[in-house]
Structure formats: structure tokens, C-alpha cells
């Protein structure tokens, strides 16, 4: 079921804009609009599930294939020193959107990124350009 008040359901339904990277039957990948680094991307389940406890296991398993593909593209385009795969559940874990998603976070030595980073809007033109570079690899 889709929830109209849920921003990620709206992106899945193309009711809200996003820099989309890849899509299949189970999930949608798009750029985070408050990127902690160039290339910061999200993979969301198409079906609304709030968190790791609610998502159906087969959907989660299939979603991980896209997480790997996006991580490979981010690695190839941005050549980071490392990548964190981050997934948050509940306010204590700083989950800000209650619709299951997985972050692909490119990391650089000494970037001093903390686990509960604060949300700061990125520059749209830069995010759009980074999305285009990733799409070229993801096809
Ligand atoms: P979390 O804090 O783990 O729930 O992550 C939610 C992420 O969604 C944050 O990094 C936000 O920047 C990102 N986000 C929220 N709204 C949007 C949107 N409309 N398009 C893209 N990313 C979004
Ligand atoms: Zn939703």
C-alpha cells in the first residue's frame, strides 16, 4: 500500500521529484537531496514498509542486489576511499524518513563523518550532475 503523506511513496509514484538512478520491480534508487558526500544515494523499497522489522524478507534480499549495483557505480564514478552502507531504524538511530531505505555513503579518509549526521541541503545542479554520471554506468 502507498501512503500519500510518505515522501518516498510519493517519489516511487512519481508524485514528487527525485534524481532517479535505477529501478526494478522491488525498489527505486535515487540521489539523497542532503548528501553527506558527492554520490550519496538511497535505495528504497517500492512497497511501503517502515523499517527492518516490517519489510518482507524476500523484498529485502532482492533490494540488496540493487544496493550492490549502486555501490559499484558510486565506487567507479567517485573513487572514494571507502563506502558505508547505512540503514537506520527508529528515532534513536536517527531515522528521519519512516519508509525503509538503505544509504550508499561514499567515504574519504579524514572526512570526519559521524554516524548521526545532520541534514543539509545539497546543491541541486551538483546532485543532478552526479546522478547523470551514475546513470551512465547503471544503464
Ligand atoms: P534517514 O535519516 O536514515 O531516515 O535517511 C533519510 C534520508 O532521506 C536523509 O538522508 C534525507 O536527506 C533523505 N531525503 C529526505 N527527503 C528526500 C527527498 N525528497 N529526496 C531525496 N532524499 C530525501
Ligand atoms: Zn512510504
Pick the CATH number of 7-138 from 3.40.50.300, 3.30.428.10, 3.30.420.40, 3.20.20.70: 3.30.428.10
On the question of pLDDT at 40 being above 70, the answer is yes
Tens-digit pLDDT profile for residues 111-126: 999 988 999 999 999 9
Answer yes or no: are the C-beta atoms of 33 and 122 closer than 8 Å.
yes
pLDDT value at position 23?
97
Task: Tell me the backbone φ, ψ of residue 20, rounded to 5 degrees.
Answer: -80, 140
Catalytic residue among 4, 48, 101, 103: 101
The ligand 1 atom nearest the CA atom of 16: 19
Neighbours of ion ligand 2 (CB under 5 A): 3, 6, 8-9, 48, 99
> Ligand 1 pocket: which residues have CB below 6 Å?
7, 16, 18, 32-34, 42, 88, 94-97, 119
Residues near 3 by Cβ (< 8 Å), separated by ≥ 6?
A: 9, 48, 99
In the chain, what are the domain boundaries? 7-138
Inter-helix orientation angle 124-138/57-78, to 10°: 110
Ligand 1, residues 5, 11, 33: which to mutate, most atoms within 8 A of Cβ?
33
pLDDT value at position 1?
59
Tens-digit pLDDT profile for residues 77-104: 999 999 999 999 999 999 999 999 999 9
Facing residues of 41 across strands?
31, 104
Per-residue confidence at 11, pLDDT binned at 50, 70, 90?
A: very high
Active-site residue flag, 101: yes
> pTM of the entire structure?
0.95
Which percentage of the chain shows pLDDT scores above 70? 99
Amino acid at each position: 500500500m502507498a501512503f500519500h503523506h510518505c515522501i518516498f511513496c510519493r517519489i516511487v509514484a512519481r508524485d514528487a521529484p527525485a534524481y532517479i538512478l535505477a529501478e526494478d520491480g522491488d525498489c527505486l534508487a535515487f540521489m539523497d537531496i542532503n548528501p553527506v558526500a558527492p554520490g550519496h544515494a538511497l535505495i528504497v523499497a517500492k512497497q511501503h514498509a517502515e523499517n527492518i522489522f516490517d519489510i518482507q524478507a524476500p523484498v529485502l534480499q532482492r533490494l540488496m542486489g540493487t544496493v550492490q549495483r549502486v555501490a559499484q557505480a558510486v565506487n567507479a564514478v567517485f573513487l572514494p576511499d571507502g563506502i558505508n552502507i547505512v540503514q537506520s531504524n527508529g528515532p534513536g538511530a536517527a531515522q528521519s524518513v519512516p519508509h525503509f531505505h538503505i544509504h550508499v555513503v561514499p567515504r574519504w579518509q579524514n572526512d570526519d563523518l559521524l554516524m548521526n549526521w545532520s541534514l543539509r541541503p545539497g546543491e541541486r545542479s551538483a546532485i543532478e550532475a552526479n546522478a547523470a554520471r551514475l546513470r551512465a554506468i547503471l544503464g
